[in-house]
Amino acid sequence: MSLSVVIVAGLHADARRTAVARLLADVPGSVVLHHDLETAPAGTVVRTVRDATGLLAAGEAPLVNDCACCALREDLVPELRRLAQDGRTRLAVVELWDSVEPKAMAEVVTAGGLTVTGVVTAVDPALVLPYLGNGDDLAERGLAAAATDQRTVADTFARQLEYATVLAVADSPEADDEDRELLSQLHPTARQVPIADSRPRDGAEGPSDAGRADGANGVNAANAADGAAGGRPPAALARAALAGFDVEAAAAAQHPACALLPAEADAHGVATFVWRRHRPFHPERLYAALEDVTCAAARSRGRFWLADRPDTLLHWDAAGGALCVESAGPWLAALPDAAWDMIPPVRRAAAALDWHPEHGDRCQHLVFTSPGLDRDGLARLLESCLLTDAEYAAGRDAWKRLPPAFDTLLEV
């Protein structure tokens, strides 16, 4: 029997534990592997393995380079291989500790020769906006995974949410239509599965799961979950978690150059505003407007270009009132033709969608999602940061002489 691995992540710990319990109950022969990083200050990470009946095994993994998350990486694959060799486990649910992000773990597991059939992030809809707006450092909340961990609650939650292909949604009495709409607009392509009611009525397939049985790893959900819950049709969460997961596609969907960004939307008081232009930003004017642009939405992301850095693709990533701007390498148009053969097809396809006769794939593609979003005001602010007609007409040599306002931010 081959071992399937499902990764369950999420800062919403109660929702995460409920989702894990649901998977254990619905898939016979399943166990959950969890590394508790809360014990890291004492120098170790506690590992537990349990099934639906209780604790099966416990052990400790020493810190690696004073990093609890590094210890998790070193210990995870050997433990999964042990479960696979034992032959009695059909599904290993890897329940990540609160602030651990699923992307790194999915890539570690896959690189270790194991099959990840699903990545699930558990969420409480009523907590989405509070967490997305929380700019506290993880260290302040006792959630840092290493002494050097400088992440915030907001940016960590955003990455956990947006990487997963399945969202296990808690039944939250406090959640309203705005909360649920915000969740849907933040990650419109994810399959949302209610945790509390994950068994299909009359064995019917949910519309979002239909046709998704065969995953990119060649795993068939019907085979993987065959006989789940005593031969009844597999519960919706188990079906979604076993449907297959493509690590390379997931990484591409998060890469700044070809990220699958949300489209325009407006419902229940929540809006997603997509702003696309081909004219470059004036570095000083954009820098002066950064705080206003960052705080205009609960979440914003995308790619952009500055007039003084015409060949550099810049990544915009904002949540919790904090902005991260970093270089994501060159635009394709800045590369010699010979280099294009080494570029992945997904990157070339994304560039083709934004291609401009003069600038190639250089563009502003920023997406803002928030309740109460002032689209018109935000559009005016962004437009005011572009080069004027006169500045644009001066040409690239003149652009490169503009004051390099972003040097400090980009640590040049």
- Please say if the pLDDT value at position 257 is more than 50: yes
Does some domain include residue 187? yes
Does some domain include residue 25? yes
Domain span holding position 333: 265-399
- Please say if the pLDDT value at position 172 is more than 90: yes
Does some domain include residue 314? yes
The verdict on 275 and 245 lying in the same domain is: no
| Reported confidence tier of residue 198, pLDDT bands at 50, 70, 90 | very low
- Please say if the pLDDT value at position 222 is more than 80: no
pLDDT of residue 218: 39
- Please say if the pLDDT value at position 378 is more than 70: yes
Last residue of a domain, one of 206, 226, 254: 254
Does some domain include residue 407? no
The verdict on 300 and 244 lying in the same domain is: no
Q: What is the pTM of this model?
A: 0.88
The verdict on 153 and 104 lying in the same domain is: yes
Last residue of a domain, one of 187, 219, 254: 254
| Reported confidence tier of residue 399, pLDDT bands at 50, 70, 90 | very high
The verdict on 233 and 321 lying in the same domain is: no
- Please say if the pLDDT value at position 223 is more than 50: no
Mean of the pLDDT values across residues 37-42?
Answer: 82
Q: What region, left, alpha or beta, does residue 131 occupy, with left being phi > 0 and alpha being psi -120 to 50 degrees?
A: alpha
Q: Mean pLDDT check: name the lowest of 203-217, 218-232, 249-263.
A: 203-217
**Which residues is 33 bridged to in the sheet?**
49, 94
Percentage above 90 pLDDT, the chain: 73
Does some domain include residue 62? yes
Last residue of a domain, one of 231, 254, 277: 254
The verdict on 142 and 65 lying in the same domain is: yes
The verdict on 66 and 127 lying in the same domain is: yes
CATH code: domain of residue 293: 3.30.1220.10
The verdict on 87 and 154 lying in the same domain is: yes
pLDDT of residue 206: 37
pLDDT of residue 410: 85
Does some domain include residue 411? no
Does some domain include residue 404? no
Mean pLDDT (the chain, rounded): 88
Contact 19, 12 (CB under 8 A): no
Of 234 and 332, the one with more pLDDT: 332
CATH code: domain of residue 178: 3.40.50
Does some domain include residue 409? no
The count of structural domains within the chain is 2
| Residue appearing with tokens 């394709």 | 332
- Please say if the pLDDT value at position 225 is more than 90: no
Using one digit for the tens of pLDDT, what is the confidence trace for 185-194? 999 999 999 9
Sequence letter at residue 62: P
- Please say if the pLDDT value at position 146 is more than 70: yes
Q: What is the DSSP string of 168-211?
A: EE---TT--HHHHHHHHHHSTTSEEEESTT-SPGGGPPPTTTTT
Q: Residues 129, 69, 328, 251: is their CA dihedral positive or negative?
A: negative
The verdict on 119 and 152 lying in the same domain is: yes
pLDDT of residue 408: 86
Of 105 and 40, the one with more pLDDT: 105
| Reported confidence tier of residue 211, pLDDT bands at 50, 70, 90 | very low
What does the buried/exposed string (b/e) look like for 345-364 if buried means 16 or more CB atoms within 10 Å of the residue's CB?
ebbeebbeebeeeebbbbbb
The verdict on 250 and 269 lying in the same domain is: no
- Please say if the pLDDT value at position 277 is more than 50: yes
Q: What is the DSSP string of 205-246?
A: PPTTTTT--B-TTS-BHHHHTTTTTTTSPPPHHHHHHTS---
Percentage above 70 pLDDT, the chain: 90
The verdict on 47 and 105 lying in the same domain is: yes
pLDDT of residue 308: 96
The verdict on 24 and 106 lying in the same domain is: yes
| Reported confidence tier of residue 302, pLDDT bands at 50, 70, 90 | very high
The verdict on 151 and 26 lying in the same domain is: yes
Cα-trace Rg, the chain: 23
- Please say if the pLDDT value at position 326 is more than 70: yes
pLDDT of residue 231: 47
